[in-house]
Amino acid sequence: MINKNLFNSKIWIPPVAVFFLGIVSVSGQNSKPKKDTLKEKEIDEVVVVAYGKAKRNSYTGSVATISSDKINNRPVTNITKALEGQVPGIQVTGASGQPGATSTIRIRGVGSVSASSEPLYVVDGIPFDGNINAISPNDIESISVLKDATASALYGSRGANGIIIITTKSGKKGEARVNLNISQGFSGRAVKDYEQVTTDQYFQLYWEAMRNGYQSGQISAQQAAQMATDNIVSGTGLSINPYGANYPKPVGTDGKLLPGARALWNDDWRDVLQRVASRNQVDLDISGGNEKSNYFFSLGYLDDKGMAIESGFKRYSTRLKINSEVKKWLNVGANLSYTNSIQQAPSSSDSKASNIIQAARAIPSFYPYYERNPDGSYVVDAEGNKIYDFGRYRPTAALQNQNLAASLPLDKNENKIDNFSGKGFMEFTFLPELKFRTSFSVDLVSFNEHFYTNPLLGQGKETGGSVRKANSRTLSYTTSNILTYDKRFGKHHINVLGGHEFYKYDYQIISGSRQGFSLPNYYEPDAASLLVDFGGNSDKLSLLSFLGKVEYDFDNKYFLSASTRADSSSRFSKDNRWGTFWSVGGSWKLSNEEFIKNLNFFNQLTLRASYGGQGNDKLLRPNGQSLYYAYQELYRDSPLAGEPGKTLEKVGTPNLKWETNLNLNVGLEFAILNNRIKGNVEYFERKSKDLLFNVPVAPSLGITDYPANIGTIKNTGFEFSLFTTPIKNTDFQWNVDINLSTLNNTVTKLPKGPLVVGTTKQLNEGGSVYDFFIPEWVGVDPSNGKPLWKTITKDANGNPVEGTTSEYAKATKMLQGSALPKLTGGVSTSINYKSFDFSALLTFKIGGKILDTDYTSILHSGNLGGRAWGTEMLNRWTPDNPYTDVPALSTKTNNWTSVSTRFLYSGTYARLKNVSLGYTLPSDYFETIGLKKFRIYVQAENLLTFYKHKGMDPEQALDGTTYYRYPAMRTITFGLQATF
């Protein structure tokens, strides 16, 4: 039995893990499996690695693989959202639940500050520059994650932050197969929004805030109470009376609602701005092959509506993959894919009034979304239709003149993406052991943004509507020529690889906006009269590379590897353009030694270690955009009085050089009990030096920052994976897998001392890259209800003196912990019983902190009249409730919701990420129509979330700061799979 008190603890994992680890205990002992049913799991499986494949238990690098059965049927739009909890060493942060949004992924920590820490995506052996949304999960055969230097050094600078290798499906030898997968489902919020006070509670609270605001030396408490009663509906009050004409002053001078007063309506804006959304997906693929050729062809359709109105994602995809042995000495292949996607994405990640997530939360329910008469009935037009209420009377804090339920359906917030990816190769076999492979890959992405605000309703009415269109074109291609030599001499085996690679990137964008539409329902810029702005730019990047690798093993026991790659990047000046990257690794297959065999215990035991260095050239601007020409002086256009002019944007830094990552990996892999228990333990140390860093400077210099190589970061941690099969017999099999990762991110060197990053972070030697630097909340002064923050000053002798202040500007900023979790992981279980199959995945993070700035928008002291209030305000300070954490109410600003540790919460949470239940009908039923398999299933994504701070989705931005983002969605789908 589970102790209910466990759910009140800070760590939520144990009670949930009971479900996974305690379904079956010793019941498996009751079944004596036949020997021929205990087929061993293939321990020496082949995994996809850099420029080829390798056997897992002899590979010297760190690689983890996710198979297709854990990806294909997940109801996710973007494959990055299917990686969380599946692989140790990966931190996956799905900051936005907007359909089509991409998760942020970090492999073994954060390796940079101002340069990109994103991993490299490789699709079928070639780096991929397309939109990751273009890849249908149904097309994926496997995903390999390369984490250490040996695994990723061959990709040089492009693999400095780890590599995610996606292998798409290929046809298999034998009869042609047709697979059909159809699913339909629905989605909603994975986590309930913050609780809000009722209309009755709101009016009484706001009366109290008004009374306290009026009260002063000149106005008595009695006078202030009367003023609050007189003005709460009109004047400086809420400008609405939901209690009707019979109660013109619904709150008495005692602060209580008058007897009999009852709200005539209760319009929760979340009911009209959010919805239960539909999700429909159809995937069809045809594949087959013979001794010399194979093919795979797929078609996919996805329509994923968002839980916010007018949001969603549609995708149409197709892929054709052909491999053929044209001659005994020549293999050729082609892999072509095209995807068209349309994302409806209303504002959902900023503080704009048009933010659909914020708007649903900010307006209290006594402001109706349809106009109301004093008696509560609807106001209707001449045709009897309800009239949307835009709240021209509402206070500004209640989103005056805004009604997204009416205006959004008339607006456009659309992103259209066309993604073509083409790959081709020819492989020549000169000798059985000598092969040459030449390949070419191209990615072409056309991205079209179309944002339109209608001239009839809402904010666009004042300007006559507005439109903005932008079109970008990204073309990149990679050519590679690889020669491999693979030979075995008795007990000796050697594999040598050498090659050349060239990468070219070309980006262009053009954009403009206009406003003033003379007619409604016209969306294009030509229909608007006033040009607002117009611009465009382009960027180019080239990377020339030479690479080589040598692998040697003796007697299938001792394995050595070494690799090197030289990259020349156009991001740097000619003097610093080349960077050389390398790795060395070794492994010892102990299980092949006689002294281990004699133990009769291990089915496999392999010790491995590697070390190497990689470079990073992906410097970013402070706004997150890539900076391609940091070594040059950059200027911006600054016209004055209609005359052209230029101002300096970036100073030239010709001495800028590669950021370097040094990676150490030590691991032990084992298997026991006839491979029923397999595991892997690894320790990693990743040191980034000569960091590419945007150093802030005084604005008086005319620039905001300049790039330089300063500082050092170190990421260290342990990774643990365990794969078990507690029960396996003819009819029943139960698997339980666990993975855990620890992370310690440390800034080890800063030549100029502490550096403030943004408004809430500071870099310090000994701290992490995401350390919060904010004032410390002390509480509420019980004597007067004012908020208190800590101050640290110095006395006459220079000694620190702690104190408190009620003035936020005087509060002392201090380090308050890191946003990065200390432990991440996942627990998965699967059960197969005859024709039934069940699987579940629990993901979790322990440690780290989240600054919830969303919550503060509904915790004002009363200074934001008309803005919704969270239920926490019911515990505000009063003379009868002096010991509380919520200050006294007042219409005068007290800044208590300003950034501080008051709103800094633990990031520890657990989420039941996926649950699936399926049934495969007996094939005898369908043999006459040629149907080989028919499976029906139901599954859920983000089914349950275990988190202490109610209302906030714990999957937030990597830096731990919320910002009105689209929450994660809970998706329930029903589907069928058929194979012909």
User: Which of 108, 22, 5 minimizes the C-alpha distance to 61?
Assistant: 108
Q: pTM of the prediction?
A: 0.90
pLDDT digits (tens, 9 = 90+) for 908-964: 999 999 999 999 998 877 777 889 999 999 999 999 999 999 999 998 888 999 888
DSSP letter string, 489-505: ETTEEEEEEEEEEEEEE
pLDDT digits (tens, 9 = 90+) for 527-549: 999 999 999 999 999 999 999 99
Torsion of CA 136, 140, 142, 143, to 10 degrees: -30
- The whole-number pLDDT of residue 37 equals 36
Identify the three-state secondary structure at position 35.
helix
SS3 percent helix, strand, coil of the chain, rounded to 5, is: 15, 50, 40
The H-or-E segment that residue 597 falls in is helix 594-597
Q: Which long-range contacts (CB under 8 A, 24 or more apart) does 673-676 make?
A: 673/603, 674/38, 674/40, 674/603, 675/40, 675/41, 675/43, 675/603, 675/604, 676/724, 676/725, 676/726, 676/728
**Structure token pair of residue 765:** 């030697």
Identify the three-state secondary structure at position 133.
helix
CA distance 127 to 423: 11
Q: Which amino acid is at 911?
A: R
CA distance 735 to 15: 19
Rounded mean pLDDT, 14-34: 35
Mean per-residue pLDDT over the chain, rounded:
90
pLDDT higher than threshold 90 for residue 81: no
Largest CA distance in the chain: 102
Identify the three-state secondary structure at position 894.
coil
Half-sphere exposure of 255 (CA within 13 A, CB side): 18
Strand partners, 792: 802
- The whole-number pLDDT of residue 458 equals 84
For 204, 390, 407, the CA distances from 401, given in Å and listed in that order, are 25, 5, 11
Length of the chain as a residue count? 980
Contact 116, 616 (CB under 8 A): yes
Starting at the earlier edge strand, list the strands of the sheet with 126-127: 63-67, 140-146, 163-168, 120-123, 126-127
pLDDT higher than threshold 60 for residue 27: no
The H-or-E segment that residue 414 falls in is strand 412-431
The lowest-confidence range among 425-429, 795-799, 815-819 is: 795-799
The lowest-confidence range among 43-47, 474-478, 538-542, 916-920 is: 43-47
pLDDT higher than threshold 60 for residue 566: yes
Q: Which amino acid is at 5?
A: N
- The whole-number pLDDT of residue 641 equals 66
> Binning pLDDT at 50, 70 and 90, where does residue 667 land?
very high
Identify the three-state secondary structure at position 537.
strand
Query: In Å, how far from its chain's centre is CA 833?
Result: 35
**Structure token pair of residue 808:** 């936020």
Contact 418, 426 (CB under 8 A): no
Residue 439 contacts by C-beta under 8 Å, 6 or more apart in sequence? 125, 126, 423, 424, 425, 426, 479, 480, 482
**Greater confidence, 424 or 463?**
424
> Binning pLDDT at 50, 70 and 90, where does residue 15 land?
very low
> Binning pLDDT at 50, 70 and 90, where does residue 71 land?
confident
User: Which of 825, 832, 671, 831 minimizes the C-alpha distance to 736?
Assistant: 831
- The whole-number pLDDT of residue 924 equals 79
pLDDT higher than threshold 80 for residue 72: no
pLDDT digits (tens, 9 = 90+) for 675-722: 999 999 999 999 999 999 888 888 777 888 888 998 999 999 999 999
**Structure token pair of residue 387:** 């009239």
Rounded mean pLDDT, 796-818: 94
User: Which of 333, 317, 319 minimizes the C-alpha distance to 287?
Assistant: 319
User: Which of 190, 307, 173, 314 minimizes the C-alpha distance to 913?
Assistant: 190
Neighbours of 644 (CB within 10 A): 8
Contact 964, 348 (CB under 8 A): yes
Q: At what angle do helices 221-231 and 199-214 cross, to 10 degrees?
A: 130
For 86, 187, 275, 349, 909, the CA distances from 969, given in Å and listed in that order, are 19, 6, 11, 16, 16
- The whole-number pLDDT of residue 624 equals 82
The lowest-confidence range among 12-26, 186-200, 248-262, 670-684 is: 12-26
DSSP single-letter state for residue 924: G
Find the DSSP H helices in 112-238.
149-152, 199-214, 221-231
Torsion of CA 785, 787, 789, 791, to 10 degrees: -60
pLDDT higher than threshold 90 for residue 367: yes
pLDDT higher than threshold 70 for residue 740: yes
**Structure token pair of residue 81:** 């959202």
**Structure token pair of residue 487:** 């030979």
pLDDT digits (tens, 9 = 90+) for 384-412: 999 999 999 999 999 999 999 999 999 99
Neighbours of 852 (CB within 10 A): 21
pLDDT higher than threshold 80 for residue 39: no
> Binning pLDDT at 50, 70 and 90, where does residue 44 land?
low
